[in-house]
Amino acid sequence: MATENVSSTYETYYVPDQSKFPIWASLGLFLFVFGMGNILNDIQAETGTGGSTIITLLGFAILGTVLYNWFATSVRENHQGLPSAQLKRSYVLGMYWFIFSEVMFFAAFFGALFYVRTWAVPWLGGEGDKGITNMLWPEFQAAWPVIANPGEAIFENPDESMAWTGWGDALGYLPLWNTIILLSSSVTVHFAHVGLKNNNRKQLTAWLSVTVLLAIVFLILQVEEYLHAYHELGLTLNSGIYGSTFFLLTGFHGFHVTLGAFMLFVMLMRTLKGHFKPEDHFGFEAASWYWHFVDVVWVCLFLFVYIF
Amino acid sequence: MSNVGILDGHDTHHDDHDHHHGPAKGITRWLYTTNHKDIGSLYLWFSLAMFLLGGSFALIIRLELFQPGLQFVQPDFFNQMTTMHGLVMVFGAVMPAFVGLANWMIPMMIGAPDMALPRMNNWSFWILPFAFAMLASTLLMEAGAPNFGWTFYAPLSTTYAPETVTFFIFAIHIMGASSIMGSINIIATIQNLRAPGMTYMKMPLFVWTWLITAYLLIAVMPVLAGVVTMMLFDIHFGTSFFNAAGGGDPVLFQHVFWFFGHPEVYIMILPAFGIISEIIPTFSRKRLFGYDSMVYATSSIAFLSFIVWAHHMFTTGMPLAGELFFMYATMMIAVPTGVKVFNWISTMFKGSITFETPMLFAIAFVVLFTMGGFTGLMLAIAPADFQYHDTYFVVAHFHYVLVPGAVFSIMAGAYYWLPKWTGNMFDENLGKLHFWLSFVGINILFFPQHFLGLAGMPRRIPDYALQFADYNMISSIGAFLFGFSQLLFVFIVIKCIRGGKQASSEVWESSHGLEWTVPSPAPYHTFTTPPELPKRVHS
Amino acid sequence: MQPKTKIFSAVLSACCLFPYQLASAAEDYREGINMPVGVTEISRSTYDLHMLITIICALIGVVVYGVLIWSLVKYRKSKGAKAADFHESTTIEIVWTLIPILILVAMAIPSTGVLRQIYDASESEMDILITGYQWRWQYSYLDDEGEEVSFFSNLATTDDQINGLDEKSENYLLEVDQPLVIPVDTKVRFLLTAADVIHSWWVPDFAVKKDAIPGFINESWVIVEETGTYRGQCTELCGQDHGFMPVVVEVVEQEEFDRWYAERQEEAAAIAELVNQEWTMESLVAQGETVYRTFCMACHQQNGQGLPPAFPALTGSPLTNGPIEDHIDVVLNGAPGTAMAAFGGQLNEVDLAAVITYERNALGNSVGDMVTPAEIFQIQSESE
Ligand code: HEA
Ligand code: HEA
Ligand code: CUA
Ligand SMILES: [Cu+2]
């Protein structure tokens, strides 16, 4: 076999050896969703969920353990200097496209919200091209938020919605606070990043801690808001389309915030362990991009779910 | 070995670098692998198994439809077969086959050492067997498998669904995760791992079409995940996305589903376009005509695919403006697709054509896909679609684009690259026999379905009025002919793996591109250092 | 057909594999091969449009496949063909982009016209509400005068025919117990909706296919120009008996329609009277059997064994043998979230009382109690 004229700038692309992670991760993922499916069906059928819960937890444990070790291995490999600059670029691209896929996931829910507000609800209320539909729901009047559902017998009408009620109540309006908190957290994580790039570890640790803290406060307020909705406003998943869109959009956002907060927390731990260099800190960057993404989604939520 | 000169002596670019040894021994080679070729093979074998499984479901459908009356299965089981056939073929057979080909060929075509993220690559694959095991296991459950069609319209798939719908939803979720990871990997590989000098406009068309396909996948799989999530919440958590009583709308389901679903059908055809664009020049011994316009056409198709989804919903009573918009947008797709067809034909025009098995499949692809395209265009005409919709005319349309379209292209690709994978030539006579049986079978199978549809036979019915009897019988005969011919394909592949005439590096007389510069069978690791490009990179 | 056209069409279809023969053979073989021309202006326009696009596609096919076959024949290596060297031409790319665009515009113009016409449901002379159920159609004439006319239209083909135990009738699977009846030459507007899942109401001869969507109303209309019986089917997958919910429309002269309509109104009035009549257990059970066979048997099966787990057995079931109030409640209001529909709005009081009494005293049950139509009427008016 001929030897190559390897150009001096070329680094070998790091192709890892065999790995046990993927197959175990697949098994974990499978057990997790299979168990979840069983739990849901058990609840529906009003039978016990014991066995299914065990499968789910087992799946979750396997998946969690594998992912932990997987990431740990990648970090270790990085410390050993195995990945080339090119591989690092692959990670960056991977993260970009992953975030794009998340954007599209939210797009589905925003699209649904847009559709019901622009078409379905007006039609049901007798407006627009298919307004004749109102024959079936003579009592129903189109309005957003929908407080009185077309089929009131099946879905429990909420007493009140979460909508913005004007500047008068602004101070007590949790979503506004949450907006402020998330927006500032995007700034703080940026400060942390600047600190990292300037090799100012103190700035990094401090601002990253603040970011994690803000994330936690956001989540606490979000829980508070849900409790308020459930207990005081009668606004639940079962409240018809307003509740459905409200909880799915904010709920999945909250879930992503949790994920993002967890990532940032891991980055904080790694920072404390002395990881990351000014010119090499992909893990941190990925977490912070994700955080900015979560932030942008919130801004859209705030505008289209709460304000308009 | 006429092309060695082009390589300036560098006919091999794989090395025996420290950790780059051959494959591991035993089953762990497949379980733990990070090698793009192994993973490609896994995908391809999986896809073949699913093709046979989904095909068996189709044969049950055709068996029941052989004659009017209920003979073999109950209507509810028939619906389960239709649903599982569609799902298994689309998500289990066609998509993984293309991913398998991408895994095998893209790194070799662009001179990359492997896929960008090798471990994740293995994860993308191994999710699939679990997902399909879960989906298929519903057949054995008391409540029966999903029975609401592969398009699973609410509320048939929510309020009125068997409880196994929960497993269906989770199967879709993890399949989606697999597809997204697979596509991220492919995009990252193409963006980041091209050999020096391999600019975008020099990439082989298979790579181009896959780049665009991967983009489509990342854009729409999450939307599918979104719509099944809404279903899950409607079923288990009391929401009312698809229930008018709570202010929702069943048609909302269809909008979200088809926003995914239409790009999905192009996901199943763009890589096929890529394969055909590789094969036709080789056997015409002539460069692909209009490379640039092929790239632009593919991009246009991808772009348009996002704004035509509601052509599946003409009868749902959309406002007139919507009908018109979606009709016009859909018709537009004929233009870039036409460009592709014309370019293929121009490539053959004034070539020096031979008819090896891959070429036969490729030519049949051009002819029969175009037929399917014509009927697609007819369906795009909204007022006419009021008559065609949900009849066998639609079934004929999409099988023409999917079976002699997508599936033939996969077969063509398999025959084209088998010698590269195995180092052996396949049995050309058997290959030709397989082609002719398939070609004849497929037309007997699906051509009469046009007539059935026009004459008024709805799809998804287990029994039909007497005037449809003749063509159904013909169609069923074709189905069995076509179906059993595929066992021949399995035989040919296995025979080729086990032995046969030694294949040269370039395998075909006039093949061009990096993958033909490595020996056959392709070594376990190729291009651990980037190759120098041959003069003519894209064929 | 002219011999010349015949040869022409044979050649065309042979070389391009496309059903060009449809075009010339349409008149002869329309039944069973091609789209029906139908009996409305819209159906004729649709048919013309269909033929137009078929022929255009066929002609493009002739050119495309012609060049392809020519190349395959002429430029074979075995015939000594040497490959030429050209591989691009911007001019030609532009040409074959523009020509299809022009063709498409030519197709879009008539299509737009037909579509606009289809969407114009204004100025109708008669409105009919069509409701899809699993698995039957309900037709309600929206007319403010007299007793309301509303009825169900069920598949009339017997199970024995479907299962091959009996010879199949001429209109196998396309026959119903009570067809929709409309007058000829009248603009009839259909309002379509559904009670459970999505169905789709299709009569090929009218070129009307519209989805019936639960909770929403779609509009469509016809002016039928010829009397006769027209048949179609449900075309949206709606569950196990999707293949067994035909549409049959009887189009009659206006006078005949008026007569029929008056009769239906009288019948409706008679049923109102029946409700208050004295009913015995025997007469209710006898009546109940017919109702059961039409409405309940598909799920609960002929002998009441059901198809567990999807459809519970009624024989020996705690509900059919327990307190009658609960039994009535299930039948009137259905079991939400399951396939068990609320039959309170679908059946009249007599049929409801009859089927409930039947279920308690037949199918292997013998509870011995009964409910009268008047009692059902009482229960229903109280809940309103
Ligand atoms: C590989 C998959 C694939 C592909 C490539 C296509 C391609 C096309 N499809 Fe198809 N389609 C499906 C898979 C596919 N389809 C499936 C699976 C369904 C059914 C889903 C379900 O309900 O279950 C479906 C259904 C479907 C419908 C809905 C029918 C209905 O339910 O009522 C419509 C309507 O517009 C449609 C249109 C088209 C069009 C216009 C194209 C175009 O892309 C075709 C373009 C190609 C050509 C036109 C031929 C070549 C062009 C020339 C030679 C140029 C000159 C030509 C002219 C100017 C005419 N398709
Ligand atoms: C890529 C996708 C794809 C492919 C390849 C096929 C392939 C085939 N399809 Fe299908 N089809 C769909 C996608 C596809 N289909 C979709 C999306 C639908 C819509 C579903 C819905 O309505 O929801 C559909 C619906 C559909 C219908 C309509 C059903 C209905 O409306 O009720 C019919 C009926 O004839 C049919 C037939 C066939 C046949 C005969 C084949 C043949 O090509 C199959 C060839 C057969 C084999 C390959 C079998 C080989 C196996 C053996 C011989 C047995 C040996 C077994 C072992 C070794 C295990 N398909
Ligand atoms: Cu009703 Cu299909
Ligand atoms: Cu489409």
Is C146 in contact with C265 (CB distance < 8 Å)?
Answer: yes
Q: Which two tokens stand for residue B36?
A: 């793009």
- DSSP 3-state assignment of B306? coil
**Shared-domain flag, residues C180 and C244:** yes
The DSSP code sequence of chain A is -PPP---TT----------SHHHHHHHHHHHHHHHHHHHHHHHHHT---HHHHHHHHHHHHHHHHHHHHHHHHHHHHHHTT-S-HHHHHHHHHHHHHHHHHHHHHHHHHHHHHHHIIIIIHHHHTT-STTGGGGGG-TT----SS--S-SSTTTSPPPS-------GGGGGG-HHHHHHHHHHHHHHHHHHHHHHHHTT-HHHHHHHHHHHHHHHHHHHHHHHHHHHHIIIII---TTS-HHHHHHHHHHHHHHHHHHHHHHHHHHHHHHHHTT--BTTB-HHHHHHHHHHHHHHHHHHHHIIIIII-
Classify residue A2: in a domain, yes or no.
Answer: no
Classify residue A4: in a domain, yes or no.
Answer: no
Is B3 in contact with B506 (CB distance < 8 Å)?
Answer: yes
Write out pLDDT tens, residues A49-104: 888 999 999 999 999 999 999 999 998 988 888 888 888 899 999 999 999 999 99
Asked if B236 reaches chain A (Cβ–Cβ under 8 Å), the answer is: yes
CATH number of the domain enclosing A295: 1.20.120.80
- Give percent of chain A above pLDDT 90: 70
Q: Could you say which DSSP state residue B498 is in?
A: H
Which residue's alpha carbon is at the smallest distance from atom 13 of ligand 2?
A: B86
**Shared-domain flag, residues A67 and A95:** no
Classify residue C260: in a domain, yes or no.
Answer: no
Is B417 in contact with B104 (CB distance < 8 Å)?
Answer: yes
Q: What is the largest CA-CA distance in chain A?
A: 83
| Structural domain of B244 | 33-516
Distance (Å) from the C-alpha of residue A136 to the closest C-alpha of chain C?
7
**Shared-domain flag, residues C332 and C242:** no
Task: Round to whole Å and give the CA distance between A305 and A174.
Answer: 13
How many angstroms does the Cα of residue C244 sit away from the middle of ligand 3? 8
Classify residue C81: in a domain, yes or no.
Answer: no
CATH number of the domain enclosing A21: 1.10.287.70
Asked if C216 reaches chain A (Cβ–Cβ under 8 Å), the answer is: yes
- How far is C-alpha C263 from the chain's CA centre? 26
Chain B partners within 8 Å of C45 (Cβ): 383
Which residues are B204's β-sheet partners?
none
Classify residue C304: in a domain, yes or no.
Answer: yes
Is C141 in contact with C126 (CB distance < 8 Å)?
Answer: yes
Classify residue B536: in a domain, yes or no.
Answer: no
* Residue of B267, B169, B147 lying closest to B218 (CA atoms): B267
Distance (Å) from the C-alpha of residue A236 to the closest C-alpha of chain B?
9
**Shared-domain flag, residues C334 and C376:** yes
Total number of domains constituting chain A: 2
Task: Round to whole Å and give the CA distance between B315 and C218.
Answer: 9
Chain C partners within 8 Å of A133 (Cβ): 215-217
Which residues are C233's β-sheet partners?
C202, C246
Which of C253, C285, C317 terminates a domain? The answer is: C253
Distance (Å) from the C-alpha of residue B35 to the closest C-alpha of chain C?
36
Which residue's alpha carbon is at the smallest distance from atom 10 of ligand 1?
A: B376
**Shared-domain flag, residues C243 and C292:** no
Is B331 in contact with C104 (CB distance < 8 Å)?
Answer: yes
Classify residue B233: in a domain, yes or no.
Answer: yes
Which of C118, C217, C333 is best to mutate for the A interface (most A CBs within 10 A)?
A: C217
Classify residue B16: in a domain, yes or no.
Answer: no
**Shared-domain flag, residues C70 and C153:** no
Which of C253, C283, C305 terminates a domain? The answer is: C253
- For chain A, the first-to-last Cα distance in angstroms comes to 68
Classify residue A190: in a domain, yes or no.
Answer: yes
How many CB atoms are closer than 10 A to CB A181? 18
Classify residue B155: in a domain, yes or no.
Answer: yes
Q: Which two tokens stand for residue A240?
A: 């018809």
Mean pLDDT score, A137-160:
88
Q: Which ligand is nearest to the CA of B384?
A: 1
- Surrounding ion ligand 4 within 5 Å at CB are B 262
Classify residue B378: in a domain, yes or no.
Answer: yes
Task: Round to whole Å and give the CA distance between B36 and B110.
Answer: 13
Write out pLDDT tens, residues B502-525: 999 989 988 888 999 999 899 999
**Shared-domain flag, residues A157 and A205:** yes
- What confidence score (pLDDT) does residue A2 get? 37
Total number of domains constituting chain B: 1
Query: Residues of A numbered 223-252 whose beta carbons fall under 8 angstroms of chain B's beta carbons: which are they?
Result: 236-245, 247-248, 252
Distance (Å) from the C-alpha of residue C36 to the closest C-alpha of chain B?
7
Active site residues of B: 85, 114, 150, 178-179, 262, 264, 266, 277, 311-312, 337, 340, 459
Asked if A135 reaches chain C (Cβ–Cβ under 8 Å), the answer is: yes
| Structural domain of C193 | 126-253
**Shared-domain flag, residues C111 and C188:** no
**Shared-domain flag, residues C306 and C216:** no
CATH number of the domain enclosing C55: 1.10.287
Which of A136, A150, A151 lies closest to C217 in CB terms?
Answer: A136
Q: Alpha-carbon Rg of chain C, whole angstroms?
A: 28
Which of B84, B157, B312, B331 is best to mutate for the C interface (most C CBs within 10 A)?
A: B331
Output C336 or A303, whichever has higher pLDDT.
A303
The ipTM is 0.90
Classify residue C270: in a domain, yes or no.
Answer: no
Residues of chain B whose pLDDT is less than 50?
Answer: 1-19, 537-539
Probe residue for ligand 2, chosen from B56, B147, B257, B395 as the CB with the greatest number of ligand atoms within 8 Å:
B395
Task: Round to whole Å and give the CA distance between C49 and B379.
Answer: 12
Map C91-150 to HEC letters: HHHHHHHHHHHHHHHHHHHHHHHHHHHHCCCCCCCEEEEEEEECCEEEEEECCCCCCCCE
* Residue of B95, B437, B415, B526 lying closest to B271 (CA atoms): B95
Strand arrangement of the beta sheet that strand C180-183 belongs to: C180-183, C246-252, C228-234, C199-203, C208-212
Classify residue A285: in a domain, yes or no.
Answer: yes
**Shared-domain flag, residues C62 and C157:** no
Probe residue for ligand 2, chosen from B85, B258, B388 as the CB with the greatest number of ligand atoms within 8 Å:
B85
The whole-model pTM stands at: 0.90
Asked if A94 and B169 come within 8 Å (Cβ–Cβ), the reply is no
Task: Round to whole Å and give the CA distance between C382 and B189.
Answer: 70
Which residue has tokens 């079923």?
B235
Backbone φ, ψ for residue B297 (5° rounding): -60, -45
Q: Give the position, in ligand 3's atom list, of the atom nearest the Cα of C132.
A: 1
Which of C200, C221, C253 terminates a domain? The answer is: C253
Q: Is B121 in the pocket of ligand 2 (CB under 6 A)?
A: no
Strand-pair category, C246-252 with C180-183: parallel
Which residue's alpha carbon is at the smallest distance from atom 1 of ligand 3?
A: C199
**Shared-domain flag, residues A59 and A118:** no
Q: Which two tokens stand for residue C315?
A: 């024989």
Classify residue A16 as left (phi > 0), alpha (psi -120 to 50) or beta: beta
Q: Is B407 in the pocket of ligand 2 (CB under 6 A)?
A: yes
Classify residue C134: in a domain, yes or no.
Answer: yes
Classify residue B442: in a domain, yes or no.
Answer: yes
Which of A30, A59, A83 terminates a domain? The answer is: A83
**Shared-domain flag, residues C207 and C311:** no
Asked if C111 and B74 come within 8 Å (Cβ–Cβ), the reply is no
Asked if B478 reaches chain A (Cβ–Cβ under 8 Å), the answer is: no
Q: Is B394 in the pocket of ligand 2 (CB under 6 A)?
A: no
Classify residue A1: in a domain, yes or no.
Answer: no
Chain A partners within 8 Å of B119 (Cβ): 16, 19, 21-22, 70
Q: Give the position, in ligand 3's atom list, of the atom nearest the Cα of C235.
A: 2
Asked if A72 reaches chain B (Cβ–Cβ under 8 Å), the answer is: no
Which residues are C152's β-sheet partners?
C138
- What confidence score (pLDDT) does residue C84 get? 85
Query: Residues of A numbered 94-113 whose beta carbons fall under 8 angstroms of chain B's beta carbons: which are they?
Result: 94, 97-98, 100-102, 104-105, 107-109, 111-112
**Shared-domain flag, residues A155 and A20:** no
- What confidence score (pLDDT) does residue A11 get? 65
Classify residue C36: in a domain, yes or no.
Answer: yes
Q: Which residue ranges have their beta carbon within 6 Å of ligand 3? A: C 132, 135, 199, 234, 236-238, 242, 245
The DSSP code sequence of A227-247 is HHIIIII---TTS-HHHHHHH
- What confidence score (pLDDT) does residue A105 get? 96
Map B256-304 to HEC letters: HHHHHHHHHHHHCCHHHHHHHHHHHHHHHCCCCCCHHHHHHHHHHHHHH
Q: Is B83 in the pocket of ligand 2 (CB under 6 A)?
A: yes
Chain C partners within 8 Å of A123 (Cβ): 216
Packed helices B334-348 and C90-118: angle between N→C axes, nearest 10 degrees = 140
Chain C partners within 8 Å of B292 (Cβ): 88
CA quadruple A130, A136, A138, A141: dihedral sign: negative
Total number of domains constituting chain C: 3
- What confidence score (pLDDT) does residue B24 get? 81
- What confidence score (pLDDT) does residue A161 get? 85
**Shared-domain flag, residues A180 and A266:** yes
**Shared-domain flag, residues A264 and A182:** yes
* Residue of C241, C169, C231 lying closest to C204 (CA atoms): C231
Probe residue for ligand 1, chosen from B377, B388, B391 as the CB with the greatest number of ligand atoms within 8 Å:
B377
CATH number of the domain enclosing C131: 2.60.40.420
C128-167: burial string, b at 16+ Cβ within 10 Å, e else: bbbbbbbbbbbbebeeeeeeebbbbbbbbbeeebbeeeee
**Shared-domain flag, residues A147 and A249:** yes
Classify residue B92: in a domain, yes or no.
Answer: yes
Q: Is B491 in the pocket of ligand 2 (CB under 6 A)?
A: no
Q: Is B269 in the pocket of ligand 1 (CB under 6 A)?
A: yes
Residue ranges with strand state E in chain C: 126-133, 136-141, 150-153, 180-183, 187-194, 199-203, 208-212, 218-223, 228-234, 246-252
Asked if C309 reaches chain A (Cβ–Cβ under 8 Å), the answer is: no
**Shared-domain flag, residues A158 and A47:** no
**Shared-domain flag, residues C145 and C106:** no
User: pLDDT per position in chain C (384 positions), as tens?
Assistant: 444 444 444 444 444 444 444 444 444 445 668 999 999 999 999 999 999 999 999 999 999 999 999 999 999 999 888 888 888 899 999 999 999 999 999 999 999 999 999 999 888 899 999 999 988 999 999 987 777 888 889 999 988 899 989 899 999 999 999 999 999 999 999 999 999 999 999 999 999 999 999 999 999 999 999 999 999 999 999 999 999 999 999 999 999 999 999 998 888 888 777 777 788 888 888 888 989 988 888 889 888 888 877 788 898 888 888 888 888 988 988 887 677 888 887 788 888 989 999 999 888 888 888 888 888 888 877 765
Asked if C193 reaches chain A (Cβ–Cβ under 8 Å), the answer is: yes
- What confidence score (pLDDT) does residue A65 get? 95
Classify residue A288: in a domain, yes or no.
Answer: yes
Classify residue C368: in a domain, yes or no.
Answer: yes
Strand-pair category, C187-194 with C126-133: parallel
- For chain C, the first-to-last Cα distance in angstroms comes to 65
**Shared-domain flag, residues A276 and A167:** yes
**Shared-domain flag, residues C53 and C131:** no
**Angle (CA) B161 B164 B165, round 5°:** 55
Which residue's alpha carbon is at the smallest distance from atom 36 of ligand 1?
A: B376
| Structural domain of A118 | 87-307
CATH number of the domain enclosing C309: 1.10.760.10
Which residues are C193's β-sheet partners?
C131
Which of A132, A137, A151 lies closest to C191 in CB terms?
Answer: A132
- What confidence score (pLDDT) does residue B11 get? 38
How many angstroms does the Cα of residue B445 sit away from the middle of ligand 2? 10
Which residues are C231's β-sheet partners?
C248
Classify residue C269: in a domain, yes or no.
Answer: no
* Residue of B111, B119, B102 lying closest to B43 (CA atoms): B102
Classify residue B279: in a domain, yes or no.
Answer: yes
* Residue of A77, A57, A62, A71 lying closest to A28 (CA atoms): A62
Distance (Å) from the C-alpha of residue A210 to the closest C-alpha of chain B?
32
Classify residue A6: in a domain, yes or no.
Answer: no
Which of B239, B325, B527 is best to mutate for the A interface (most A CBs within 10 A)?
A: B239
CATH number of the domain enclosing B76: 1.20.210.10
Distance (Å) from the C-alpha of residue A144 to the closest C-alpha of chain C?
19
